[in-house]
A = this chain, B = another copy of it.
Amino acid sequence: MSFAQLDPLLHSQLRLAVMSLLIGVDSAEFVFIKEKTGATAGNLSVQLDKLSNAGYISVTKSFKGKKPLTTCSITKVGIKAFEDYVNNLKQYIE
């Protein structure tokens, strides 16, 4: 039995933290994710794009009053990918 591949999109500290956050909530705002993960805004913006392009999260941009508001939520595909990642990872750490 050899080691399963770990989805490279999830095997990134920041992206994994984002997914970990999102899997527990309905949705979360950019600023909230930024604070919880301790990421810089720039880095977070890039990584959210990657997760979004992969279909792992959905990102909607609107306004809170007159300020931009970016809201994220995990998708079904994202949940599946996260679960698979965790299962594969367990092979490495158990």
Contact = CB atoms under 8 A, between A and B. Distances in A.
A36 B85 CA distance: 20
Query: Number of contact residues on A: which range applies?
Result: 10 to 19
B3 A17 contact: yes
Nearest to A1: B36
A79 interface: no
Contact of A93 (B13, B38, B89): B89
A15 to B, nearest CB: 10
Given A3-B38, A11-B11, A38-B3, A16 B92 contact: yes
B92 A17 contact: yes
23 contacts: A2-B36, A2-B37, A2-B38, A3-B13, A3-B17, A3-B20, A3-B36, A3-B37, A3-B38, A5-B13, A6-B13, A11-B11, A11-B13, A16-B92, A16-B93, A17-B92, A20-B91, A20-B92, A20-B93, A85-B93, A86-B93, A89-B89, A89-B93
